Homo-oligomer: A and B are copies of this chain.
């Protein structure tokens, strides 16, 4: 059966699997202290235009958010995120488990408004009782967002400016970074992102890897003894070279961005078809996640032929469903989907 359920249903891009198989011909030291990881990090640094950046490989998205947020946020502080942000909704309390509050402000198509961030912090510091409250200590945004939307360079810079005004690092969750940076209409490059954000991660799990996220600290700001902090969170992979091999493959010949772009092109075709057929797109978004508000008969009809993702009830008779393309989506699959729409 056709599936557009999510972007982590297929194991890995063939080039990634080959890189792992090739690594199997050698012995490597453990915990990321291997040459494959070094090589992958060098390629990522180059792609970021940041020869001095610190790069670390972790296994999954929630884990990465937990480790990064916990280590960049002071103990007396929380992380500011929009209410729809992944750590606030879908991480089973992983941030609170490590002792920090998620301080929420409203989302707008999944995005943070820098003015509202400023207002939130201004109000905090203007409150005579703020020492009895959780300080805003870091800022979390996702690129692309949970609703598939993206920040422009100017928008992200504006958020960074506010964050820095209040002495907070800006952390960009890039679980779907490839899809964000190669979206039709995006004006942001990886180099831009590396200039704006204090720390971000390049998502592998959803963009061609078996698993793996590459965390990039761009400003000589790696938390002290970060390897120990990773281990303390149970997040240090013994065979770090398996992460190295995968990111080495993804950052060879621009593979990461090529396969992400292909997913966006597939999504663009689907969006065009949806619009042509009168479907109601829940958000205007240019990346690989398409949210569509449908009535139940439509859902029933579609689900006989294609697996979609449930997002949430919109009202008594409508539901927001997600159509998700990925690096693995083929032209034929898109054709078939459009046919059944």
Residues of A within 8 A of B (CB): 3, 5-6, 8-12, 14, 17, 20-21, 23-24, 26-31, 59-67, 70-71, 74-76, 78, 89-102, 123, 126-129, 131-135, 205-206, 210-211, 224-225, 227-229, 231-239, 241-242, 245, 310, 312-313
Contacts and interface: CB of A to CB of B under 8 A. Distances in A.
Contacts of A233: 94, 97, 234
A76 B132 contact: no
A313 to B, nearest CB: 7
Given A96-B99, A242-B210, A29 B17 contact: no
A211 B231 contact: no
Nearest to A326: B27
A78 B88 CA distance: 12
Given A11-B242, A76-B225, A20 B23 contact: no
Contacts of A210: 20, 210, 239, 242
How many copies the complex holds: the figure is 4
Contacts of A135: 225, 228
Given A3-B27, A239-B210, A131 B225 contact: yes
A92 B232 contact: yes
Contacts of A71: 75
Nearest to A100: B96
Nearest to A2: B27
Contacts of A126: 313
Nearest to A129: B90
A164 to B, nearest CB: 18
A205 B61 contact: no
Nearest to A14: B24
Given A89-B133, A92-B132, A129-B90, A97 B5 contact: no
